[in-house]
Structure 1
Amino acid sequence: MGLILGKITVETPKHEILASTNDYEIRKYPPSVIAEVTYNPSEMKDNKDGGFPILANYIGALGKPQNTKSEPVAMTAPVITQTQKPENPSSETIAMTAPVITKQDSNDSGIVTMQFILPAKYSKAEDAPKPLDERVVIKEEGEKKFGVVKFSGFVNDGIVKEKVERLKNELEKDGYKVIGDYLLARYNPPWTIPFLRTNEVFLPVE
């Protein structure tokens, strides 16, 4: 019931709020360990979830975990989608983690990279269990700082574009330099009542 009503009951990434206005927050996130898979959506026409099942199998969310140890790990949130475009245009059960990050190849070739951020207990890439599927890559991400805006409801390209443009304008007006593409964070499963969903747009800043 809590999932339907938008209650977030799982671990979320720790962060420090550096500044807060009526329009956005500036947050600093510590280094993290991620699992990622890169794929071409056109080659996965029968799989509308893209790389998600590959990563979900690695952590054990869909059954027997496809990795080399056996240790349950708590689920985290949110799920994060990232689209990067050109400037001009034994088994270890790791419970579902997030963000899940999807990157569109910057040359617009259609290649997508999806990432799960692993729980904080994995402070280094070598701490995480080794995937059995060679398509899954474990890597480390460094500390990052973002401008973030929160909103509810359904998410589509038009809404995201509007949120990104407004956030970028507000950040630059206040003297922040945006240094990369946006992230879209979704904290709830798809069956959550729309107006009770928590969504966020992130823009990396210096």
Structure 2
Amino acid sequence: MGMVLGKIPVETPKYQVIRSFTDYEIRKYAPSVIAQVTYDPSHEFKGDKDGGFTLLANYIGVFGNPQNLKPEKIAMTAPVITKTPETSSSAEKIAMTAPVVTKSRGGGEEKKMVTMQFLLPDMYRKAEDAPKPVDKRVEIVEEVERKYGVVRFGGVATEKVVGEKVEKLKKSLEKDGYKVIGEFLLARYNPPWRTLPMFRTNEVMIPIE
């Protein structure tokens, strides 16, 4: 019942609020370790219609025995984070409960590759601390300390709503003297099939210098 009403019962990323404004925050996130898979979103990922999600879920043991060399079951975290090209047709395409980051690579006429990431629990401080994946398509990498401008909002994170939040946040950051250094991330803290739309928590995150 708690998840239906928006309760977040899993570990979330550690961060420090550097400054709070009326409509957004500046946050500094601690270094983290992630598991990731890179793929071409214009083609069905072999053996996984969810763009690599099944590979990552198998790695941590969501569906049974974890597919890593220890083997060791790894706890899930939140939020689900996606980074996609601004021409993406929908902000609600990926519906998962795991900690996922999806990043686009390339642009223009080039092929746009997407990297889907699971943030691993805080107990893994270095990449070598995490169990080695059985499937070589799964990579374990370290994310350094980083800063974001962040705005939180409820409801369904539709493309239109997210686009409006991104544009407003960009203008606020520029007005307040912050330099944007990358594409926005969309963070969703609740599984859409388990949480009523009105109780969902979402965030738009824009990396800043």
Gaps of 5+ in 1: 87-95
Instruction: Give the conservation status (yes or no) of the 8 Å contact 2:60–2:72.
Output: no
Rate the CA distance shift 1:6–1:85 in 2: closer, same or farther, 3 A: closer
Structure 1 distance, partners of 2:103, 2:133, is: 21
Please list the CA deviations of residues 176-202 of structure 1 after superposition, one character each: whole Å capped at 9, or x if unmatched. Answer: 111111000000001210010000000
Aligned counterpart, 2:136: 134
Instruction: Give the conservation status (yes or no) of the 8 Å contact 1:97–1:118.
Output: no
**1:163 corresponds to which letter in structure 2?**
K
Please list the CA deviations of residues 112-144 of structure 1 after superposition, one character each: whole Å capped at 9, or x if unmatched. Answer: 110011111111000000000110001111100
The structural deviation recorded for 1:106 is: 2.5
Aligned counterpart, 1:200: 203
Correspondence 1:97-108 to 2 at 5 A: 97-98=98-99, 100-107=100-107
Correspondence 1:1-206 to 2 at 5 A: 1-44=1-44, 47-84=48-85, 97-98=98-99, 100-107=100-107, 109-191=111-193, 192-206=195-209
**1:175 corresponds to which letter in structure 2?**
G
Range moving further from structure 2, 102-111 or 172-181: 102-111
- Counting matched residue pairs gives 196
Structure 2 distance, partners of 1:53, 1:35, is: 12
Gaps of 5+ in 2: 88-96
Please list the CA deviations of residues 10-56 of structure 1 after superposition, one character each: whole Å capped at 9, or x if unmatched. Answer: 11111100000111000000111111001123331784422111100
TM-score, reference length from structure 2: 0.88
**1:203 corresponds to which letter in structure 2?**
I
The structural deviation recorded for 1:84 is: 4.7
Identity %: 62
Structure 1 distance, partners of 2:180, 2:112, is: 24
Please identify runs of 4+ aligned residues in structure 1 that moved more than 6 A.
none
Structure 1 distance, partners of 2:104, 2:21, is: 30
**1:168 corresponds to which letter in structure 2?**
K
Instruction: Give the conservation status (yes or no) of the 8 Å contact 2:39–2:114.
Output: yes
**1:133 corresponds to which letter in structure 2?**
D
Please list the CA deviations of residues 80-134 of structure 1 after superposition, one character each: whole Å capped at 9, or x if unmatched. Answer: 0012569xxxxxxxxx752x11112222523211001111111100000000011
Structure 1 distance, partners of 2:133, 2:48, is: 21
Secondary structure of the residue aligned to 1:68 is: coil
Instruction: Give the conservation status (yes or no) of the 8 Å contact 1:97–1:119.
Output: no
Cα RMSD (Å)? 1.8
Rate the CA distance shift 1:144–1:80 in 2: closer, same or farther, 3 A: same
Instruction: Give the conservation status (yes or no) of the 8 Å contact 2:16–2:29.
Output: yes
**1:3 corresponds to which letter in structure 2?**
M
